Structure 1
């Protein structure tokens, strides 16, 4: 969110507090009550879109760590079973193929880790099921590894989707702020004049909330506003 939008949002939130405080007074002018309802709905959408734009991804990060740990754990179990099987078969080439450690897997990047786990899965799927069953390598173990790989692959693809979502959110925010600006200028400000004489305290608090102050401590100049919009 740009600085200008952030300043506007602070003003809108202050206005929402005032409008909620004097909600009963809105009944004096039904058209004003309807405009306030639209304003509140737009404000809620702005807050929701802002979260998307800022990419609130703490939950996603924790989920990624969980899925990665689960995939590594079952990969190590499958690799260990194949390694012992290969040892008994005196198949040194197979031993080398599945020789992995927790430290090795954890230091890999997402793509490299995924490829390594997929290779272990490929090897496990190609072995004789009856021959490896005594080593704990059962069909459900292999399908479990497949599931963990699929889950992790889907999760690491999310940031690419998020980039698109954030780009869309940025465009939508611009539209929302423009819509709110027109709503306030063309309708709410003028309807508030209708109750100015009857409810001067309400009106004055509304006008005070309408002032958009630069959060850096100064009022924005036209030049700064234009720079923000570029």
Structure 2
């Protein structure tokens, strides 16, 4: 990748980290969930195209613990809904499986973490129709899958939930063009809704969007 692309990638990573750290701020806006999923998939494909794999591994290794926390937070939120549904339906086995808090998940050994999160995603998808009444959407599960795939990449394991899309066949220049366009023409415009309702969150997003020339 050239210098300009590396600088843009640093910005993309900053945006992704910021959004993952503030899921509770934007997760109630369906269109943002859709755009975030598209953004995550584009970013995953850019990483796969990176020429300097050693540099990528250094970056990824430094962020594995942080990404595990993001996955744990998202799984915890969806588990709460699954646990409530199971309790009301008097499904004791499902309730026990869903009764995993953020700390329960985050302190698991990484290999056990992979097993538990995979099971959690399976259970969420199996009960998705019923969970709609509890505020769970397919896009939220996809968002969890994308974050989990990013953890697996950091862990040095193949992604389990590749979200199929045309991005996978695009070249690096097209991926950068599409990612920048998605941010500028879609995500930035929707994020303006927070300018007055949550100025701190909006300003943090604006800061993450700044490209630093290194």
Question: What TM-score do you get using the length of structure 1 for normalisation?
Answer: 0.42
Specify the structure having the higher radius of gyration (Cα): 1
Question: What TM-score do you get using the length of structure 2 for normalisation?
Answer: 0.45
